[in-house]
Structure 1
């Protein structure tokens, strides 16, 4: 198994106090180094003892102890006085373990960039202890692996899920279990280890979200919360939803799980916040995360913390971030009006701050339309007399063969509608109406579309991306995946009839920042 990935820290937030105390008055001049001394119970130096330095997020591979393969791993030996200096260590939270025959000790070191070496107090080696327990295996798992964060130990369970570490340093350890074929951990928990004693953890289960240790995540990034709240979202009422958009310019997708399962979102106090991954595409390196935050959190100088880089993490994303938020608020935050035509002009009905775009008319050579493109879109607007009321758009056409009549609007550039849940519109008429999302004037131009039969009764259409046709190159159809990140136009095409009416066009699952 390849459980350890040699990754660099993208950004680190470490504010925990070290469980060892620096000793004042050191004279070492080595930059970014730490120095510790190993002693026995009598205070005598432990020379030639093995020293293993591992980052807090480290877990041992199932095969062997890792060599010094990257900046975060160190394997050293104490000198004749029991001292060891770890040079050039990047900032971060580490576990320093010292072993000598049946004695051992470990300590957590919160290391920061330093101009001189940090010297830490004596680490007293004591007899090792035994830790055992049981993992609940599924029926198709023959065994599991049990690892300890920050320490270079790993054991396999037997066929019943029982495991035993026979020689661990005393202290509090966090263990986890994984198995072949399972993307997430099977179990995780904390336990005390006592010198010369056996501790039985019993059956270990999955951790609650509040019990996860942030230090076992390799990467972190802070985001000022006010940068995620646009003016159009104000005023805020109680809880609200903010959207985090990640791309290759602000996030290294190679450091995270390919499906984003290891992502965590916290407030500045380390409390987990409800979130959903609306989108996570490692290729083309784009993600959209919606996070539920309180109004009091947004109103202060607060920030969110993203964490990622955790092999076999449990998926903590949910789909209930909107629960309890009024429908009227959700409509404002998570949908965009395209037009209801009540203004009676050619401009779309996009709300601020989306720039106004304009409707247009077009047709193929074999089709005559009324009104024509020269007469302009405003001529299509009329008061409905078929039971809907209000102003609607109406386009008549006569076809001399196969062809189409079109009403469409630009989006003022290429927009990502990748999180689109659905587009809703009303239509009636004769023949076929096609809804299309166009990607025009690019080397890979084309569309994604769906077709519907019309009749004289107004019908509400709710079209999801899954309702669009698979790519087949017919009529330029390249499919939704090829279009969704660069939609330039939304169009309605009529054919095989004489006219069509449309009204009340609404996009759901996107917000104003997607289109501005």
Structure 2
């Protein structure tokens, strides 16, 4: 029998400060005075240098506008910018609108979503024309490919589905954070939201994988000198993802985090383990095994998915902390059990705590930890004499 007082695993943590919402360069909208009549919207379109752009076609539509079913709607307003880049609208109903701007000379676009029009006079955020991007959507299996279509609510972007294609494509989409992409049918009034909050980047294709999940977000591992300063490429490394109320909306996920998933850029699934999931206090730590952490790099990204009520948990510590890659014991020392200290590896070297109880639980560097009093509190790891766990006396270890 051997005893230890902490875990012996070197960790590399990445805080998820989520991440990557590229969009318009907009100023803060300002409400104006009041007068009788329709609500008025005034805005301005500029280029990347901040210069006003004339002859830009600008369209305002209600935020829930369906470009197929509402094509004859009179709630759509169109204007062309003047020499100062300004446009003017007069809308009959107050509420939320989207504004789409397109410059015909070079095809660049700008986009404003959920513009709140509640006063008689309203100023829209100034927005910058940018090279458009593309959204590619992986289609759900249970749909009618002969009568269904994919669209961006509040815009003119839509495409009917192709019977022979697994994907639908929306071209020339403005660079922005698109609030949602939906599927609708010519025969039904309802819609299905495929994905919320899609980031479109200039000249790039944003692919919506796993349409059963309503939300996704990218995170990047910054190993440059400005980040973790890792010069060499590291393989099969568990990375800690931290979630808080500042970077994640816990109400969008299942109460136990069972709908979480992580993928590489090619949609290959990555193993993960939830160490702590506490939606009440809006905090979580998840370990994700990244097969390749590229040295001196900040360009590679990975994706996190959530928002699927039918998903079953795939959290599995033994896959993340694989014994074949050198892990022989991983003890998170969290508060999920006061009578046993679980080993996350397949070796299952579970520990027995002595003079440690729930009052010993404290906040650690990563998640929760245990406080050892220095003389009578310890953890005993039985049944290791015939195993791979070998902690010789006077040996050298890394504690984290």
TM range (shorter): 0.3 to 0.5
Q: Name whichever structure is richer in helix by fraction.
A: 1
Q: Report the TM-score, using the length of structure 1 for normalisation.
A: 0.33
Give the number of the structure whose alpha-carbon radius of gyration is greater: 1
TM-score, structure 2 length as denominator?
0.41
